[in-house]
Amino acid sequence: MTDLMTTDRLTLRRPGMQDAAVFTALVGDLDVSRWLTRVPHPYTLADAQDFISRVEIGGGNTFAICVGDQVIGCIGTEDQLGYWLGKNHWGHGYATEACKAMIDRHFAQDSSDLKSGHFVENTASSHVLQKLGFVRTSQTQAKCPATGDTHVLQRMVLTQNSWEMIA
């Protein structure tokens, strides 16, 4: 599989150490990290470098989301579909567009169901995932490392058959 994907407006490419400072600034914003299940706050340059190092070593399916040469977020399908965008890039349809590319990639490699989820208060992510055909499966409690708060995590799943029907 390729290490570069393009959509109408986006380029998805492997993150590199040159992205560490931008990742730190974007996901280091508490308005972003408060919706994530794996990102601490404050998010430091060392955190970004460690994350990128693990991605570089492990290969896998993690990509920087870019508009032109500008990194605006990150997306991956390691154990589930997960993504984040810098706050200034919310509301432009970039998450949906990047997710579509990653879902296509996932089902080109693997016919297994694709899992994802969101904190129930995160209506924007709920909308993105439902629009892409994900259906709710269960709810569980999850701690947000950025805030220390516990939230209800809505788990969701997308089957290949469902994706093919809407794609």
Supply the DSSP symbol for 2. Answer: -
Q: For 111-164, what is each residue's pLDDT tens digit? A: 999 999 999 999 999 999 999 999 999 999 999 999 999 999 999 999 999 999
Cis peptide before 42 (omega within 30 of 0): yes
Enter the pTM of the model: 0.96
Which residue, 110, 17, 19, is CA-closest to 56? 17
pLDDT tens digits, 49-83: 999 999 988 867 999 999 999 999 999 998 899 99
Q: For the chain, where are the alpha helices, taking DSSP H only?
A: 20-27, 30-33, 45-58, 94-109, 123-131, 160-166
Domains of the chain (ranges, CATH numbers):
4-166 (3.40.630.30)
